[in-house]
Structure formats: structure tokens, C-alpha cells
Amino acid sequence: MLEMKLDSLRKLISEEADYVTTMISKVYEGLFERNKELFTEIYKLEDKLNNLEMQVEDDAIGLMALHQPEAKNLRIIIMIIKMNNDLERLGDHVVNITKCANRILNSPVIIKYIDLPLLFKETINMMRDAIAAFINQDTELASMVMGADDFIDNLRDQIFRVNMTHMISSPETTPVRMQINEIASHLERIADLTTNICEEVIFMVKGRVVKHNLTADGENVV
């Protein structure tokens, strides 16, 4: 009975994750193909994501109260609650990116996006791999995703540096470049949240808190 309900929660989380990856893929396509109509779809998906997030939270808390799970089952539920919160925050960042993208497309100033398309693609790849790690309980893949976070940080910094140079030499491009910087910041935060999900996968499977290198019992991992 408990296992069936846990499987149901996993499916709901996977559905949430699908919404988020679809949202970020649509903002990528809308921005770089200059198709603002796709942005409307993102807001519709956000509503679905928010409704699902509330359902997952209610179901997970109810499951804990009803079954009082222990050991790995308890870790799974805790992980799902955390991941549920992370996915909701991911959706918020995608919505903020959408608003920035809309401002860029409404501007008469057209500039090169520097490394922004690559930053988008790498962030999307991180998200997809993190979800795969969760579904398959793959701690090796989770660890690989976590290792990609530094590359995302470097890309964001590169975008900031190039934009700063161009804002000095071509100040008329400053409003658009500030929007690009903001998108880069949101993508970096998405990568951070994706890393959180991978840490939660490792906790779920191995009972180890990666941030502090502790087991679920609070013992140090050598």
C-alpha cells in the first residue's frame, strides 16, 4: 500500500519536472526564434505546475501522517517534499526569464546573445539529467550533474564580462544587455536548484547528506 502511494508521488514529481523542462525549452525557443506567442504557453504551464505542487505537498504530508514511514521510505518522502519545493522555485525562475525575454524582443535594439544560448542548453541538460537521476535512482548521474555546476557559473561570468565591455562602448545597448545578464543569473540559479535535486537523490538512495558529507544518522563519511 505504502509503496503504491510512493510510486504515485514519484509520478507526480516526474510530471512536475516535465512541466518545468517544457517551460524552459519554450522560453529558449521563443527568445532565439523571436516567437513571443510561446510565452503565453509558459504561463499556462506555470498554473498547472503550481496546482500540482500543492497536490504533491498535501499527498506527501498525508502519507507521513498516515503511515509513519521509516528508513528509506521516510527519506524518499522527505526528498519528494524538497524536490517539490525546488521544482516550484525552478518554475518561478523560468517565468522571470520569460519576462526578460519578452522585454528583449520588444526592444528595437538587436544584439548578439554571446554565450546565452549555450548557457540555456547546458542548464536544460542539467535539469533533464537530474530528473533522470531521480527516476532511475542513479547516484552516479546525480554526481555528474553536480560537477557541471562550475561550468554554468563560468558561462554566466563570461556573459557578464562581455556585456560590461559592450555597455561601456555602446551604452545604447545597456537595457537589453541588462536583461541578458538577468536571464543568465536566473539560469545559474536554476543550475543551483538542479544541483540541490541531485543532492537529494543521493540522500534518498544512500542516506548521505552531500553538503555536509554525513550519513542519515549524522555520522561522518570517510
| pLDDT number for residue 213 | 47
Chain position carrying cell 546565452: 116
Q: Rounded to an integer, what distance in angstroms lies between the CA atom of residue 213 and that of residue 220?
A: 6
Q: What is the CATH number of the domain that holds 90?
A: 1.20.58.220
- DSSP β-bridge partners for residue 166: none
Overall pTM > 0.85: yes
Instruction: Give how many domains the chain has, as a whole number.
Output: 1
Per-residue pLDDT of the chain (222 residues; tens, 9 = 90+): 778 888 899 899 999 999 999 999 999 999 999 999 999 999 999 999 999 999 999 999 988 888 787 777 888 888 889 999 999 999 999 999 999 999 999 999 989 898 999 999 999 999 999 999 988 989 999 999 999 999 999 999 999 999 999 999 999 999 999 999 999 999 999 999 999 999 989 988 887 777 644 444 444 443
Please, what's the b/e burial string for 108-129 (b: 16 or more CB within 10 A of its CB; e: otherwise)?
eeeeebbbbeebbebbbebbbb
DSSP β-ladder status, 214-215 and 208-209? antiparallel
**pLDDT score of 69:** 73
In this prediction, residue 35 carries a pLDDT of 96
Classify each residue of 154-180 as buried b or exposed e, where b means 16 or more C-beta atoms within 10 Å of its C-beta: ebbeebbeebeebbeeeeebeebbebb
* CA dist., res. 89 & res. 16, Å (int): 12
Residue 102 lies in a domain: yes
* Helical packing angle, 174-206 and 116-136, nearest 10°: 20
In terms of residue numbers, what domain contains 83? Answer: 2-215
CB 83 within 8 A of CB 199: no
Would you say residue 79 lies in a domain?
A: yes
Tell me, yes or no, whether 190 lies in a domain.
yes
Residue 218: what pLDDT? Answer: 42
- Check residue 221 and give its pLDDT: 42
Residue 221 lies in a domain: no
Task: DSSP letter for 170, please.
Answer: -
- The predicted pLDDT at position 209 comes to 73
What's residue 3's pLDDT? 81
Residue with cell 546573445: 113
The H or E element spanning position 209 is strand 208-209
At 217 the pLDDT is 45
Is residue 217 exposed (0-12), middle (13-18) or buried (19+ Cβ within 10 Å)? exposed
Q: What is the pLDDT of residue 138?
A: 94
Render 13-68 in DSSP notation, one character per residue: HHHHHHHHHHHHHHHHHHHHTT-THHHHHHHHHHHHHHHHHHHHHHHHHHHHHHH-
pLDDT of 211: 63
